[in-house]
Chain A
Amino acid sequence: DQQVKQNSPSLSVQEGRISILNCDYTNSMFDYFLWYKKYPAEGPTFLISISSIKDKNEDGRFTVFLNKSAKHLSLHIVPSQPGDSAVYFCAASQETSGSRLTFGEGTQLTVNP
């Protein structure tokens, strides 16, 4: 199942700099996108979402950008903090209550002090 793909398995950034995590999707039926953060031995924690009617959504240090024509979204974290070190999952669904989430592989972000 390659409908949602995160091509970078890992990313390392310095504290205070910007982290950019990328995600691509192939299914044009997806119209709602989410980012989750996951620590080892814990469940995914919701970070931020975006509907396909928008191209940007911001919440504090986190901003998600959506490029529908390219079927690409990205998560920007600025400034990055050591506590942001975790695996970040991109997920996509149809904008209907109860729709399944389709996840990417995840990107391990390491923020170095």
Chain B
Amino acid sequence: EPEVTQTPSHQVTQMGQEVILRCVPISNHLYFYWYRQILGQKVEFLVSFYNNEISEKSEIFDDQFSVERPDGSNFTLKIRSTKLEDSAMYFCASSPTGTSLTQYFGPGTRLLVL
């Protein structure tokens, strides 16, 4: 069964450093998303991406965040200058168009900012 994959599974970085989280969505899906879950809190929407542009972003997704689909398979989330409060699990998800609205999630990247 096709699945969303994410790399790395864990990332430790120093405050102020840039990180890039990578995702390979399911191959025939056209909508891509990033969510995060801070420890003990809800899963929160960050951004959605369709047709090579951001279709929606939350108030969390400020100028330090960016997303890119650099080729036909990868979808990346960049955090330019990490803060302590960026420590969280980051989940990538994808969904097809058409009648199915279900979003399928990857296993997540645990980001720890020191």
User: Which residues of chain A have a CB within 8 Å of any CB of chain B?
Assistant: 1, 32, 34, 36, 41-46, 49, 89, 91, 93, 95-106
Query: Contact between A100 and B33 (Cβ–Cβ < 8 Å)?
Result: yes
Bound CA span A41–B106, Å: 11
Closest B-chain residue to A36, C-beta based?
B105
Going nearest first, the 5 A-B pairs with the smallest beta carbon separation are A43-B105, A100-B45, A103-B43, A98-B31, A44-B105
Find the A residue at minimum CB distance from B98: A97
Q: Chain A's interface: helix, strand, loop or mixed, by majority?
A: loop
Within the complex, which residue of A1, A41, A95, A101 is in contact with B103, where a contact is CB–CB below 8 Å?
A101
Q: Which residues from chain B contact A104 at a C-beta distance below 8 Å?
A: 42
Q: Which residue from chain A places its CB closest to the CB of B48 in the assembled complex?
A: A98
Range for the number of chain B residues in contact with chain A:
20 to 34
Question: Which residues of B line the A interface, CB within 8 A?
Answer: 4, 6, 31, 33, 35, 42-45, 48, 50, 55-56, 58, 91, 93, 95, 97-98, 101-108, 110
Residue of A whose beta carbon sits closest to that of B4: A43
Q: B56 contacts A49, CB within 8 Å?
A: no
Q: Which of B42, B50, B105 contacts A105 (CB 8 A)?
A: B42
| Alpha-carbon gap, A63 to B93, bound state (A) | 24
B58 to chain A, nearest CB (A): 7
